[in-house]
Structure 1
């Protein structure tokens, strides 16, 4: 009985040649392109919102609160009325709302790393930067939603952009371009800092003086000389000036070139540092 059972087991066991033929003979799926893999990870970022809709609070409630707070807080004191102030503050508060939202990417990345998700991504036969670029592509949808909410609130309280619909679109496009570049800085923080809380804290410390030390809320000519110097070299000031020009229908100056140069520089420097750290996590 033992010899017969052994013979039957050998006959039923898969042959090495059969296994090799099955592996070689079958057609393998083609390797995903960099674009398709990046879009897939972008879709993954959006699917997270479906399961955790609270993540939309920063792109829906936050722009509304910021817009109403600063418009009605500073409108009467600075310009005499909200109607006189809204044309100045609307592009600036749109920039502020979108740039605040960009910090979310870094804490999300740090959470995924702590859970071991990115260790699995590194083992996949995909274009190496696609998980990071996909995160930023998914967040670009959130930035667009935040910009739309901010613009809608400004329109409801009396903003009438002289640049029209196309001017608003052009201004939002410049803001999203700069936000994409800034996102690489936060991703780098997400890779070098140890906890999501520390990522958020450090990102806030970096972002606050850049946003509030700019021309978002008031004309820099009313500021002390040392602060005017900071505002002049602040890239956010160039971004706000460009956005105002597009939305208010005034001529666009050299600030547009400066903003695009800053955006490209952020991608070149912090994109490279982020990928280096991503490849060498230890």
Structure 2
């Protein structure tokens, strides 16, 4: 009898476990928004363990704002007070777009550690890890935007567009920065080191940021440089952000910036997912 009880014990245990598992319904599979939000929260939690990641969204925007405002203010407009209304929206755009390139280096580090191999095997919406990472970075960009705006206000900037105008300008900037991040995400899947990604990103951003209307009116530039400024998507973005914040009429530049954003997501988002599915 003892032998029979011991033999039946594993069977009874298996039946008990099966009854527990089948007594409740299977949890509903999370949707794309839920999984993307979770990965976005993961990106923010990394700051808790590595607070140095906040350096680029705190010290860097302040340094850029003070440097360019006091460097060019007296030479271009005669005083910082007269120049700040023009430079503030532009330096806000420059600060945020510059720090977007850290997206690619961070992703490359995660890939090298093997964590994305695990993410690919999960039964979730496939782009969730990438979209979530970019959403987490959008929060960092928001912090940089608010900090830069606060520094400009302390210097003497008084935006005629008010709070709503500043909020609209920052919103448009965050949309463009999110879209631009897909370029660096794609680079992180084809380049082998974070240093290589930073190098290519910096080389790409330099003509986009400095060959624009961030610092001076393009009317003072030579003809060939004016032609570049006119087709530069950053110029459209700066013009739209400046119009929102300074309370002037918003032209087609805002729609052009949204169009550029959609095109970046469509092209580089597709290339990123193609490479993400087949990393070989």
Match of 1:263 in 2: 261
1:6 CA displacement? 7.3
1:179 aligned residue (177, 180, 194): 177
In the TM superposition, what are the counterparts of 1:156-175 in structure 2 within 5 Å? 156-175=154-173
Matched, 1:43 2:41: yes
Counterparts of 2:139 and 2:107, CA distance in 1: 17
* Structural RMSD (CA): 1.6
Matched, 1:11 2:15: no
What TM-score, normalized by structure 1, do the two folds share?
Answer: 0.95
1:7 CA displacement? 6.0
2:89 aligned residue (76, 88, 91): 91
- CA deviations 1:192-250 (Å, max 9, x no partner) are 11111111111111111100110001111111111111111000000000011011111
1:79 aligned residue (77, 85, 89): 77
Match of 1:188 in 2: 186
In the TM superposition, what are the counterparts of 1:90-239 in structure 2 within 5 Å? 90-239=88-237
Matched, 1:62 2:66: no
Aligned residues: 279
1:170 CA displacement? 0.7
Counterparts of 2:3 and 2:129, CA distance in 1: 50
Q: Judge which range, 191-200 or 234-243, deviates more.
A: 191-200
> CA 1:186–1:236 in structure 2 vs 1: closer, same or farther (change >3 Å)?
same
1:100 CA displacement? 0.9
Counterparts of 1:147 and 1:63, CA distance in 2: 8
Paired residue secondary structure (1:265): helix
Counterparts of 1:78 and 1:10, CA distance in 2: 91
1:23 CA displacement? 4.5
Unaligned runs of 5+ in 1: none
> CA 1:5–1:204 in structure 2 vs 1: closer, same or farther (change >3 Å)?
farther
What TM-score, normalized by structure 2, do the two folds share?
Answer: 0.95
Paired residue secondary structure (1:13): helix
Counterparts of 1:137 and 1:67, CA distance in 2: 25
1:103 CA displacement? 1.0
Counterparts of 1:104 and 1:15, CA distance in 2: 56
Paired residue secondary structure (1:263): helix
Unaligned runs of 5+ in 2: none
Counterparts of 1:249 and 1:171, CA distance in 2: 11
Match of 2:26 in 1: 28
2:250 aligned residue (238, 249, 252): 252
Counterparts of 2:42 and 2:5, CA distance in 1: 49
1:21 CA displacement? 5.0
Counterparts of 1:255 and 1:198, CA distance in 2: 33
